[in-house]
Structure 1
Amino acid sequence: MTTLTSLSSKAVTILGAGTQGRRLAFMWTRLGRPVYLIDQNNEQLSRAWTDIQSLRSSKEFEYISKDFDSWGSVSLTPASSSDFKKALRDSWLVVESVPEKLDLKRKVLEQLSEASSPESIIASNSSSYSISEILQGLKVKNNERFVSLHSYWPPETPAIEIMGSEQTKPEIIDLLMEETRKHGFQPFHVRRQSTGYIYNRIWAAIKREALFVVQEGVATPKEVDDIFKNVLKTPSGPFQLMDVVGLDVVLDIENHYAEDRAGIPEEPRVLLKDMIAEKKLGVKTGRGFYEY
């Protein structure tokens, strides 16, 4: 009889070889188990392998491989190849790590539902959409095996949040808590449905209030960042971090919170819209709350 525990000795498939995907591949090969890293862009796969090797050779992250003999293999798999279906059949866990677009994530999860083994756990790495939101209206096989598995910036920030839907089997949560911990993550169980999970929900409130302070003319972005860093002893302030993320992305996330919860003030979003209209998106355009 196949059990969840016996499944966990098989491979992990990660769909999306971007920055998150390649860092997840690094983490999930810690115990010598194989990972399939899938992307439709061959250049993205090549860059991913270079980054994975760099992470493995970094002295800063030697603790990840401590007490283990060797890394697991990473199979760089084009999404168009026949190996894609083999990867899904061989994997106990399939993680989508595609761009943060709801329609795209829904399309991907439908495809994974059809092509994967019926016993495989299917997880979304979405930072703003819960698995319940993504699955809403979709016809998928065995919806009790779907889960949100949101990571931050592994291995530097190994926190990972695990949130099921009302249909998710409790034993899947237990297994993921155990396996993520073994692979060097620090797992946190999100016990109820929560837009933004745990950390991002709290961080959203900090960002929103920081924007409100500037919009009202109480302080400048630099003054907010300086007092934030002075009190909390952090290397960056809210506006510096928003510039890194991209103000268009910050606005998309704020709009999502506003749709989900009544009473969220509009003023912070107005400020973001004004910045975006001036093509001040942050680091990626060279101008945001700061110049780069």
Structure 2
Amino acid sequence: MWSRCGRPVHLVDKNPAQLERASREIQKLRQAWPLASLPGDRSNTEWGIATMTSLDDLEGAMKKSWLAIECVPETRTLKRTVLQELDTLAPADVIVASNSSSFTISELLQGLKLKAPDRFASIHSYWPPETTPVEIMGAESTRPEIIEQLMIESKVHGFQPFHVRQTSTGYIYNRIWAAIKRETLQVLDEGVATPEEIDSLFKAVLQTPKGPCAQMDTVGLDVVLAIEEHYAEERKDLPEAPRTYLQKMIADGKLGVKSGEGFFKYE
């Protein structure tokens, strides 16, 4: 999505195999989602260039960029380490953002020694280009013009931006989605219904392409558990049964789509 207006995008990963996989997936997405089918500014008829950049060239890529987004796994310590490194390497005019789905940018930055703490924000996307919404949230220290620029640029690039106006763990959608996930897991734990029945009913009532069980499988049940554990740290009133249910599935190697089996089986 960020490369759809002709600007280069530098994908940085310490694992060369992951970069190769990313390149293949990007090409598949571009074939499946031509520019004419995407919302936003359609004046461009060709995709931009997605440049694979090795970890050794991180600093060089930062000097050519206006925005750096960390997309590492949902682990607080890892994200803080990466954000600290990006702050060290990024020129003063580069916006640094986190794609975390549960940690706010405020808590990720807490205690870090930053040279420019006013240029950080959260910018969480879902499954682009199929799912275009993106949620943008600042910290207490974020300059207002940073949020304004991200709202404008993300819209130009085909996203549907939503401004999270107050610090909120889980942004807007994920807070609501967390309640659905939690109740789904509770229903399963109590033996009220099967995953097939839950998803069939959910899709029939809300007319959505996926039910909550298939959606969790897509995200990855280990990721779902990590997010739930973070919510539980902040809210002591949350039931433990949903997390226990996930732990049992993960112990059995059922991580969802990426392992071939979660609530459902996959090729």
Same fold flag (TM > 0.5): yes
1:72 maps onto 2:43 in alignment: no
Residue 279 of structure 1: how far off its partner (Å):
3.2
Residue 175 of structure 1: how far off its partner (Å):
0.9
Percent of matched pairs sharing the same residue: 57
Number of residue pairs the alignment of both structures matches: 264
Distance 2:30 2:252 in 1: 41
Residue 229 of structure 1: how far off its partner (Å):
1.3
Distance 2:204 2:165 in 1: 33
One of 107, 132, 142 as aligned partner of 1:133: 107
* Structure 2 gap segments, 5+ residues each: none
For the Cα contact (< 8 Å) 2:4–2:35, is it kept in 1?
Answer: no
Give the corresponding residue for 1:184.
158
Residue 70 of structure 1: how far off its partner (Å):
4.2
Give the corresponding residue for 2:7.
33
Distance 1:63 1:193 in 2: 33
Residue 61 of structure 1: how far off its partner (Å):
4.0
Matched to 1:217, the amino acid is G
Matched to 1:135, the amino acid is L
Give the corresponding residue for 1:245.
219
Distance 2:260 2:157 in 1: 37
Q: Show the 5 A alignment for 1:60-209.
A: 60-64=34-38, 66-68=42-44, 70-81=46-57, 84-209=58-183
The farther-off stretch of 43-52 and 167-176 is: 43-52
Matched to 2:199, the amino acid is D
Q: CA distance change for structure 1 residues 147 and 219 in 2, over 3 Å: closer, same or farther?
A: same
Residue 201 of structure 1: how far off its partner (Å):
0.9
The farther-off stretch of 222-231 and 181-190 is: 222-231
Q: CA distance change for structure 1 residues 166 and 39 in 2, over 3 Å: closer, same or farther?
A: same
Q: Point out 4+ residue stretches in structure 1 off by more than 6 angstroms.
A: none
Distance 2:159 2:259 in 1: 33
Matched to 1:67, the amino acid is S
Residue 69 of structure 1: how far off its partner (Å):
5.2
1:13-63 Cα deviation digits (max 9, x unpaired): xxxxxxxxxxxxxx1222222222222222332333333334334454434
Q: TM-score, normalised by structure 1?
A: 0.83
For the Cα contact (< 8 Å) 1:61–1:155, is it kept in 2?
Answer: no
Matched to 1:87, the amino acid is A
Q: TM-score, normalised by structure 2?
A: 0.91
Q: Secondary structure at the match of 2:166?
A: coil
* Structure 1 gap segments, 5+ residues each: 1-26
Distance 1:50 1:283 in 2: 18
For the Cα contact (< 8 Å) 2:74–2:226, is it kept in 1?
Answer: no
Distance 1:169 1:158 in 2: 25
Q: CA distance change for structure 1 residues 103 and 69 in 2, over 3 Å: closer, same or farther?
A: same
Cα RMSD (Å) of the superposition? 2.0
